Structure 1
Amino acid sequence: MQAWVAACDFRGAARLLIPLGTFSVGPVVFQGPCGSPTPIVVEIKGTVKANTDISEYSSPEWFSFENINGLIVTGGGTFDGQGSQVWKYNDCHGKSNCQLLPTSLKFKTVNNGQVRGIHSINSMGFHMAINKCHNFRAQNLKIFAPQDSPNTDGIHISSSDSIKVLRSVIGTGDDCVSLGQGATNVLISGITCGPGHGISVGSLGKYQDEEDVRGVTVTNCTLSKTENGVRIKTWPDSPPSKASSFHFEDIIMDNVKKPIIIDQAYCPSSSCNQKPSRVQISDVHYRNIRGTSASENAVTIMCSPQYPCQGVELFNINLRPGGIKGGATALCANAKLTYGGTQVPPPCR
């Protein structure tokens, strides 16, 4: 931490190096604000392994970068969360109010930042979280955890604006990329996703006073053998909020169970109130999405009966059955839909 303090206080171009080698590290916070007029560079060359004694973590982060204007994390090194030693303590399956295990890399209130060329493997909880950031870019990342590892989202974005996730390979036990409340003006492009739960907006509507989500583009991505493709999910009986302006374009689905899905009754446990969701979803565009579906329902648009989805467009959808008998189908409820171009499966009527 002395090296970080020196780099942060330096008034010129500053670089912090983690050299080649393997290092065991407990929870650490890289705290700003810093004095440099140019971005601080944190260069990871070696392999950093997490301390897996959960009692050492006073907050659920391993490496946390906070309150920094101008940051580049790079170098080609590896963050190894050693999650296999602690996943047994995850009790979030079927329990809505659980404590998540530590996130490997958290960026909080980091403006004008980048993380690039980094490997993250076997996180205890999320691999990366971007929270309360502006103008932040994550690119050329390799993120991996086993398919059965719990809540190991690749990149989670919340309460942040002008975020780009680009040209990365992500395979985990949960969402490759997930967007929570307050995510605005987000571009996700060039992602290879799988295994995992796909690219998800949500879940939304779990808590009071959630910020709206708007302005999300997912393009030029390939999803392979994931549980979902591109998904929007909201909780039943939610407080009112809005989710709008989504563009899912030029996406390849390779044997994905639910390639296109809006689920406004999302409930991973059996204890949810079944009153309708009050998250208003609108202005959603699915264009040029093709490939194979591993389930009968290739398109599922199930919206709230109290707040039906508005302005959902499907244009040039070609999702054929992959290894299942019969043709793929579309299932829709409580949505105003428009169609154009190729429609496989046939449109909902």
Structure 2
Amino acid sequence: MDSKICLLLFSVLVLANGPASSHAQEKDFNVRNFGAVADGKTDDSKAFLEAWNQACQYKGGDRRLFIPSGTYLVWPVEFKGPCAGHITVTLEGLVKAPTDQSTFSQDNWIRFQYINGLTINGKGTLDGEGPSAWPSNECGCKTLPQSVRISSVNNTLIQSITSLNSKSFHFNVFSSNDVEFRDVRIIAPDESPNTDGIHIGDASRVKVTNCDIRTGDDCVSVGPGSKDIEVTGVHCGPGHGFSIGSLGKYENEADVSGLSVRDCTMESTQNGVRIKTWVSQLKSSAYGIEFVNIEMKNVTNPIIIDQVYCPGGGCSTEGGSNVQIKDVLFSNIHGTSTSQVAVDLICSPTVPCQNITLDNINLAYTGDKGPEQSNCSYVNGEARGVQNPPSCI
């Protein structure tokens, strides 16, 4: 056969089979095709779960659970793996939680569990309907559900979605690895109780990048067992700031290590960057921590280590905390403080803080009680560069 004819036939076969075969492997699982009504009143949970189960087990190639525009009422759901491969959830609509507290049998609304390879993206919103539940938090009547729990999930990207008015935490990352939040918006009123933006516990290699977090509790909180956490380019406020802890409350807590918070802005928050531990006999450590290039705008407690943490009052302070805090860098932190004590480092007499570094701190007090101040107890370390307020180390 003529060589030119062979080449022509080969090209036709490549064009016919290559792209068409690849396209055939892509499959959307649209919740509307599984019976979702999207009227904001009908429970669409069953449709969501059926679409998830089929997408999760699809073996023909790439798979996507698609939630198009519309308003969906979804009761508590668990999206479980393992799946046949990486799975994407694209949220373009508004998904609302139920307001009836009797529908919640667990402490979460939406749970992703036992998955390796997950992307959650889109321009849609998860509305936790928090105002219907927050009064129960104030009276201590009931543990309120978190909006999204990421549990035993690895290799995850959560991008561009919005979480609105969670009843409790917006996102809880637990026992998971390689998780990134990118360009996520988290919104709740500053008076909403316990609405942490992103809580991380027993997790490693978690990144929070270019997110806007406005809530009623910690913007990002890091609990025991967390390591290699990166927070960059985040706007926080209102809220309680960035927190490590609280630590030392429960037995057998694992250490916290390798936390980096960089290039962030705190605006009208209760705290800026904080490490908090309870006074107890329980031992653990928090180390390898850096807070770098942080702008404070009218923050009440810009820099704080609190080893006598006791939010409800009535705690014993005898014996001191047994959580060792060491190797912590506060660098290039500047802006304004609404409290006179802009740097407050209260460490434990039992295990004093070690190797704490204040580097180029410039925080101006906005009140009229006198010049800005720093306060230190049981702190070992050094101060270098600009120190305003004057360092107490």
Query: 1:52 pairs with 73, 82, 99, which one?
Result: 99
Instruction: State the match for 1:41 in structure 2.
Output: 88
Secondary structure in 2 aligned to 1:90? helix
Query: 1:326 pairs with 356, 370, 386, which one?
Result: 370
CA–CA separation in structure 2 for the residues paired with 1:34 and 1:73: 15
Are the counterparts in 2 of residues 70 and 111 from structure 1 also a CA contact under 8 Å? yes
Task: Kindly state the Cα deviation for residue 99 of structure 1 after the two structures are TM-superposed.
Answer: 5.3
CA–CA separation in structure 2 for the residues paired with 1:46 and 1:323: 45
CA–CA separation in structure 2 for the residues paired with 1:325 and 1:305: 29
Task: Kindly state the Cα deviation for residue 243 of structure 1 after the two structures are TM-superposed.
Answer: 0.6
Instruction: State the match for 2:133 in structure 1.
Output: 86
Query: 2:282 pairs with 239, 261, 269, which one?
Result: 239
Instruction: State the match for 2:62 in structure 1.
Output: 13
Task: Kindly state the Cα deviation for residue 238 of structure 1 after the two structures are TM-superposed.
Answer: 4.3
Task: Kindly state the Cα deviation for residue 245 of structure 1 after the two structures are TM-superposed.
Answer: 0.6
CA–CA separation in structure 2 for the residues paired with 1:58 and 1:15: 28
> Which residues in structure 2 correspond to 1:243-254 (within 5 Å)?
243-254=286-297
1:335 matched to 2:379: yes
Secondary structure in 2 aligned to 1:236? coil
CA–CA separation in structure 2 for the residues paired with 1:324 and 1:138: 40
Alignment size in residue pairs: 343
Instruction: State the match for 1:173 in structure 2.
Output: 216
Secondary structure in 1 aligned to 2:55? helix
1:71 matched to 2:115: no
Look up the equivalent residue of 1:6 and give its one-letter code.
Q
Secondary structure in 1 aligned to 2:213? strand
> Which residues in structure 2 correspond to 1:135-174 (within 5 Å)?
135-174=178-217
What do you get for the CA RMSD once the two structures are aligned? 1.2
Instruction: State the match for 1:28 in structure 2.
Output: 77
Task: Kindly state the Cα deviation for residue 19 of structure 1 after the two structures are TM-superposed.
Answer: 0.8
CA–CA separation in structure 2 for the residues paired with 1:317 and 1:184: 26
Secondary structure in 2 aligned to 1:157? strand
Instruction: State the match for 1:226 in structure 2.
Output: 269
CA–CA separation in structure 2 for the residues paired with 1:229 and 1:100: 27
The C-alpha deviation readout for 1:263-295, integer Å capped at 9, x for no partner, is: 000001123222311000000000000000100
Q: State the TM-score, normalizing by the size of structure 2.
A: 0.86
Are the counterparts in 1 of residues 204 and 227 from structure 2 also a CA contact under 8 Å? yes
Instruction: State the match for 2:232 in structure 1.
Output: 189
Deviation beyond 6 Å, 4+ runs, structure 1: none
The C-alpha deviation readout for 1:140-165, integer Å capped at 9, x for no partner, is: 01111011000000000000000000
Secondary structure in 2 aligned to 1:244? strand
The unaligned stretches of length 5 or more in structure 2 are 1-48
Task: Kindly state the Cα deviation for residue 57 of structure 1 after the two structures are TM-superposed.
Answer: 1.2
CA–CA separation in structure 2 for the residues paired with 1:311 and 1:165: 26
CA–CA separation in structure 2 for the residues paired with 1:324 and 1:217: 34
Secondary structure in 2 aligned to 1:88? helix
The C-alpha deviation readout for 1:42-63, integer Å capped at 9, x for no partner, is: 0000001101222211111011
The C-alpha deviation readout for 1:244-279, integer Å capped at 9, x for no partner, is: 010100000001000000000000112322231100
CA–CA separation in structure 2 for the residues paired with 1:144 and 1:13: 32
Look up the equivalent residue of 1:341 and give its one-letter code.
G
Instruction: State the match for 1:131 in structure 2.
Output: 174
Are the counterparts in 2 of residues 135 and 163 from structure 1 also a CA contact under 8 Å? yes
Are the counterparts in 2 of residues 294 and 324 from structure 1 also a CA contact under 8 Å? no
CA–CA separation in structure 2 for the residues paired with 1:143 and 1:8: 27
Are the counterparts in 2 of residues 295 and 324 from structure 1 also a CA contact under 8 Å? no
Query: 1:305 pairs with 335, 349, 359, which one?
Result: 349
Task: Kindly state the Cα deviation for residue 91 of structure 1 after the two structures are TM-superposed.
Answer: 4.0
Change (3 A) 1:47 1:228: same
CA–CA separation in structure 2 for the residues paired with 1:238 and 1:265: 13
Are the counterparts in 1 of residues 340 and 367 from structure 2 also a CA contact under 8 Å? no
Larger-Rg structure: 2
Higher relative contact order (CA 8 A, sep 6+): 1
Are the counterparts in 2 of residues 206 and 238 from structure 1 also a CA contact under 8 Å? no
Secondary structure in 1 aligned to 2:135? helix
Task: Kindly state the Cα deviation for residue 316 of structure 1 after the two structures are TM-superposed.
Answer: 0.4
CA–CA separation in structure 2 for the residues paired with 1:280 and 1:140: 34
Are the counterparts in 2 of residues 262 and 301 from structure 1 also a CA contact under 8 Å? yes
CA–CA separation in structure 1 for the residues paired with 2:280 and 2:312: 14
The unaligned stretches of length 5 or more in structure 1 are none
The C-alpha deviation readout for 1:203-251, integer Å capped at 9, x for no partner, is: 1111011111000000000000100000000011140001101010000
Look up the equivalent residue of 1:77 and give its one-letter code.
G
The C-alpha deviation readout for 1:85-116, integer Å capped at 9, x for no partner, is: 11000047xx7xx8531111110011000111
Look up the equivalent residue of 1:119 and give its one-letter code.
T
